[in-house]
Amino acid sequence: MSRLRWLWLALAAWGAIHPMVWFVTWFRQNGVDLAGMLDAWHVNAATSGLVWDLTIAAVTLTLWILAEVSVRRNWAALLAIPATFLIGVSCGLPLYLYFRARPV
């Protein structure tokens, strides 16, 4: 496996673990309250802007994955879609690049 593929995989792992530390900390302080978390994401204009920025990036990444998978037939790359929406773009994008960098 190339160094670049290892880098994408390492970034995907970091993008999965680092944000989860913050989410788990929030859940420990506030309980498992998804509505409360959504409210916290929109506490001010700056956080709302960040949420929308990441949402648009996630939708764009999903469309890119679907378009490329339909051509390249790299079905494993579809795993990046749930990673994007269940963990975040910080995991989904490097995970997709890891799958995409696979020799064809």
Q: How far apart are CA 43 and CA 36, in angstroms?
A: 10
Q: Given this model, what pLDDT does residue 103 score?
A: 81
DSSP 37-82: HHHHHTSSHHHHHHHHHHHHHHHHHHHHHHHHHHHH--GGGGGHHH
> Does the pLDDT value for residue 98 go beyond 80?
yes
pLDDT at 1: 80
The model's confidence at residue 44, banded by pLDDT at 50, 70 and 90, is very high
